């Protein structure tokens, strides 16, 4: 989860988020180099006293400042397209979850377990336990097995919401009607916090998301206890 005064992105908990962080750093390096080059050119123009009143055109110069940006854009576009391919839907998910946004809480349906439904409300500050983050903890976490591909069908029961878990690299709009689909793969155990990322009303800031990634045997025991009763 994000911490106080954190400048960078959250630590990745999925291979997709790791690739997104790599691409972010790569694009930032390219932008930094371009910015330095542009400011160097501007500074040299201001400092230099050389002028040419009869300079009308420069085919070589125009070719260079057209071709070089095009090449840079190609080097940015190729890894971007690769990421888009990785973010595409998976053909054989281990588990399918339906996340439904409400004003102002989330509900989760385990479609592979008789559509058992859990309602996930934010824990009030007065009831929160020591060590749990304020305004981010919920009464029923979304329990998922680690190292398994998960498909999430995101929908809404009323207005626009957005189901977002930054450390998993997931952000999908929840729209009334047919669900949108997203997938992720939790590579390690832990608690991963998110929030609704679409302004949905007065209590928009009070409908957090908590994904608890656990080993498969722990998930099996939880299913036997809570979902197959």
Q: How far apart are the first and last CA of the chain?
A: 33
Asked if the model's pLDDT at residue 229 lies above 60, the reply is no
Domains (range + CATH), the chain? 15-88 (1.10.287.90), 95-228 (2.60.40.420)
Position 154 scores a pLDDT of 94
Cis amide leading into 104 (omega within 30): yes
Residue 116 confidence (pLDDT): 81
Could you tell me the pTM of the whole model?
A: 0.81
Q: What is the pLDDT of residue 206?
A: 92
Q: What 3-state class would DSSP assign to 140?
A: coil
Rounded to the nearest integer, the mean pLDDT of the chain is 87
Structure confidence by residue, pLDDT tens digits, 146-158? 988 899 999 998 8
List phi, psi (to 5°) of 93.
Answer: -70, 150
Q: Tell me the torsion sign for CA atoms 91, 92, 93, 98.
A: positive
Task: Report how far apart, in Å, the C-alpha atoms of 152 and of each of 71, 90, 140, 182 are.
Answer: 37, 11, 17, 5
Nearest-angstrom CA–CA distance, 6 and 166: 14
Query: Distance between CA 152 and CA 116 in Å, rounded?
Result: 15
Backbone angles phi, psi at 125, to 5 degrees: -60, -35
Task: Please list the alpha-helical segments (H only) found in the chain.
Answer: 15-47, 59-86, 216-222
184's tokens: 């992720």
1 vs 4: CA distance, rounded Å: 10
The per-residue pLDDT for range 109-157, each reduced to its tens digit, is 988 877 788 899 999 888 888 888 888 899 889 999 998 889 999 999 8
């Amino acid at each position: 989860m994000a911490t106080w005064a954190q400048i960078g992105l959250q630590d990745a908990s999925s291979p997709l988020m790791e690739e997104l962080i790599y691409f972010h750093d790569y694009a930032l390096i390219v932008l930094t180099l371009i910015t330095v080059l542009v400011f160097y050119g501007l500074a040299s123009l201001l400092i230099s006293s050389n002028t040419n009143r009869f300079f009308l055109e420069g085919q070589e110069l125009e070719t260079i400042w057209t071709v070089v940006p095009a090449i840079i854009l190609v080097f940015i576009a190729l890894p971007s397209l690769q990421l888009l391919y990785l973010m595409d839907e998976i053909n054989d998910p281990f588990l399918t979850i339906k996340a439904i946004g409400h004003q102002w809480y989330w509900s989760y349906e385990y479609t592979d377990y008789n559509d058992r439904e859990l309602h996930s409300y934010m824990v009030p500050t007065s009831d929160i336990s020591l060590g749990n983050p304020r305004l981010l903890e919920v009464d029923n976490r979304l329990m998922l097995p680690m190292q398994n591909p998960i498909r999430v069908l995101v929908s809404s029961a009323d207005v626009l919401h957005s189901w977002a878990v930054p450390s998993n690299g997931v952000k999908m709009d929840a729209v009334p009607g047919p669900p949108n689909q997203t997938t992720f793969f939790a590579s390690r155990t832990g608690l991963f916090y998110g929030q609704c990322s679409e302004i949905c009303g007065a209590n928009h800031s009070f409908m957090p998301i908590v994904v608890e990634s656990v080993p498969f045997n722990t998930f099996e025991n939880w299913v036997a206890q809570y979902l197959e009763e």
